[in-house]
Chains A and B, each alone.
Chain A
C-alpha cells in the first residue's frame, strides 16, 4: 500500500518538474533563435521581460562549452541588459572563458552593468591579466572615461596605467581622449 501511495505521489508530482523543464527548454530555444538576428538584435525588453529566468537562460547559453561560440558570445553580451546583482555575478563567473572574444564581450557587459564599480577589476586585468584581456580592459577603461561625468580618477588611470600597456592604435585613442576637455554627458543606459 505504501509503495502504491508512493508511486501515485510520484506520478502526481512528476508533471511539475517536467513542465518546468519544458518551459526552460522552450525559453532556451526561443533565445537561441533570437541570438541569430542578422543585423538588428531584439530590444532589451525581449530578454529582461523573463526576469531572473531569462538571465539564467542567457547565462546557460553563454557558459555551455558545447554550444557554438557565436551564440555564447552574443548571449554573454546580452546579459548586459540585466542590471541585477545576479547578472553581475553571472558575468563575473564567465570572465575566465577560454575564448578571447567571449571574454572580451563578458568584460564589456560587466562594465556596462557595474560602471565605475568595475574599475578595480579593470585595473587588476591591466596590471596582470592575459594579454588579450588586458587590451580589452584598456578599451573598457576608455569607454568608461567617455561616458563618465566625473572622470578625473579615470583620467589618471588612463595616463599612468593604460598608456604604458597600450599598442599604438589604443595609445592614440587614449591620448586623444585625454586631450579633450571633460564632458558632462550622462552614462547611457
Chain B
C-alpha cells in the first residue's frame, strides 16, 4: 500500500510537472536560451546588400547561393551569443560537413562547432539529408564568444557495429495525446528507440510495453512497486529513449513489441530505431569545461590527468576501456551562466537541458561530459535513463559533473576515485542502469541479480537507506544511490547492459 500511494504520487507529480511545463510553453513563457528556433538570417536581414550579379550577400543555406556556398562571414563582429552571420562565398576549408575540425577554416562552410565538427547551414529540414535534422548548433568565435546557427546534424552518430535500423516521422491526429506503435521482431542484442521532438521540450512517457502476443512487460502504474521485465522512465528532455531489453528477459527471436506512449499535448516527433548486434568495449569521451580548468590543445588539463588514469582502471574493472578523449572549453558569458547550477534536481531541469543541448554538432559517437563548478544537489547527473546514446544536441544528450565540488570532496577517499566513480555511475545511467535501490527503498532496476535494499532494512526508520543499512544489499554496488567510491561492484547482468551501450566502440 505504501508503494501504491508513493507510486501514484510519483506519477501524479510527473503528470503535474509535464502539464506545468507545457502550460509555461503554451503561454509563451521564457524558453531556454539554446533551444529557441532561430530566425533564418535571410529573413532577419531584409535589407541585405546584393552582390553585383544580384546574388544575395547574406544567406541561410547553400541553395540561396547558386554558384557558391553559404559560408561563415568572418568579417562579422564576434558578438557573444549572436547568430552567426553567413554570406555567399567560396568554399573555406578542405573538410566536408560531419568531419572533425580544429578550427573554422578547416571546414567547407567555415563552421566548426563547440564539439569540433564541421557543419553546413540550413533554414529547415528540407536543406538536410535523409539521416540529418536541422538544429541549432553552438559555434565558438574565439576565446570569449559563442554564437549560434542552424545547421544540418546527423540524427545519430554511431560506432561500427551499431546501426540506425529505422526512422519515421510521426504526426498524430489533432488533440491526440496517446500514441501506440509496434516494434517488429529483431535479432539485435539491444534496441534503443529514440523519440525526438526537435527543439521542442514536451513531457511524455511510456505507459505500457507488451509483447506482440499480449504479454505485459511494463506498466507505469506499477513503477517501483514490483519487479517488471522492462522499465521505462518518463523523460524530460525533448527525447524519450526506450531500451529493449534492459532487464533479464532475453526475448526469443520472433518476438515483437507494442508500446503505448502518453504525450502531454499533440506534437510531431521522429522515431528512431537503433540496433546493436554485439557488445562494445571502448568509451570515447568529449569533455567541455564550463568555468573550470580549460583544456590545453583540446586535451584535458594536467589537474585532470590522475583522475583519468583512475577512470580507465575503473572501466577496465568492468570489462571496458577508455578510448580517445577530446576536451573543449565553453567560451563567452554562457560559461558564467552554466558554471553553477542552482536549480534542484527535482525541478524542470531547465539549465541541465540547456547545457546538454550544446552537444549539437558533435561529429563522433562519444559520451559528451560537461564539467561545471558546482550544483545545488548533485555531483553528477545524466540527461535521462537511458540516454539518447549517439543522438547529440537533444536536451538529454550527455552527462554533467560538478568538478569543483568533487575536487573538494568532503567524504572519505580521494577526489580522483570519486570523479571516476561518478562519471561511470552517470554513464551507466545513460546506458540504461538504474540505482540498485533508491534512497527511500523503492526499486526500479529490473535485473534479478542485483542486490536490493528495501524499506524494511531502514534500521533507524528515518526514511532513507544508509550504506551501513544496506551492507550486502547493494551498498557495495557502483549503482547504489549514494554510489560506492572505495570498491565499486557491478553484477554480471549490469555489466551486460553496460556493454550494450550504443556509444561503445
Contacts and interface: CB of A to CB of B under 8 A. Distances in A.
A and B are interacting partners? yes
Interface of A: 30, 32-43, 45-46, 49, 67-71, 73-74, 77-78, 80, 101, 104-105, 108, 135-136, 139, 142, 146, 167-170, 172-173, 176-177, 180-185, 188
A176 B25 CA distance: 12
Contacts of B345: 39-41
Nearest to B467: A33
Contact of B24 (A77, A136, A183): A183
A77 B344 contact: yes
25 contacts: A33-B466, A36-B482, A37-B378, A39-B425, A40-B378, A40-B435, A68-B409, A71-B410, A73-B405, A78-B377, A80-B344, A104-B340, A135-B336, A136-B342, A139-B337, A146-B29, A168-B80, A169-B33, A170-B333, A172-B33, A180-B27, A180-B30, A181-B29, A183-B23, A183-B24
Contact of B410 (A67, A169, A181): A67
Nearest to A38: B483
B214 interface: no
A41 B377 contact: yes
Given A101-B374, A185-B20, A188-B20, A36 B463 contact: no
A37 B482 contact: yes
Nearest to B406: A70
Contact of B29 (A135, A169, A183): A183
Contact of B426 (A39, A139, A173, A183): A39
Given A67-B410, A181-B28, 17 more contacts: A37-B377, A37-B379, A38-B380, A46-B463, A68-B409, A69-B410, A70-B379, A70-B408, A77-B342, A77-B377, A104-B340, A104-B342, A105-B342, A105-B376, A136-B342, A168-B80, A169-B81
Identify the 6 closest CB pairs spanning chains A and B, nearest first. Answer: A68-B410, A177-B30, A169-B333, A70-B405, A41-B377, A167-B333
Instruction: Bin chain B's interface residue count.
Output: 35 or more
Nearest to B381: A39
A80 B377 CA distance: 12
Contact of A172 (B81, B344, B466): B81
Contact of A33 (B80, B409, B440, B482): B482
A43 B27 contact: no
A188 B17 CA distance: 10
B410 A70 contact: yes
A40 B380 CA distance: 9
B344 A43 contact: no
B438 interface: yes
Contacts of A176: 30-31, 33, 36
Contact of A168 (B20, B31, B333, B378): B333
B332 interface: yes
B347 interface: yes
A39 B23 contact: no
Contacts of A68: 408-410
Given A69-B408, A73-B405, A101-B373, A169 B378 contact: no
A73 B374 contact: yes
B374 A70 contact: yes
Contacts of B408: 68-70
B179 to A, nearest CB: 26
Interface in B331-356: 332-334, 336-337, 340, 342, 344-347
Interface string B108-119: 000000000000
Nearest to A100: B340
B15 to A, nearest CB: 14
Contacts of A74: 376-377
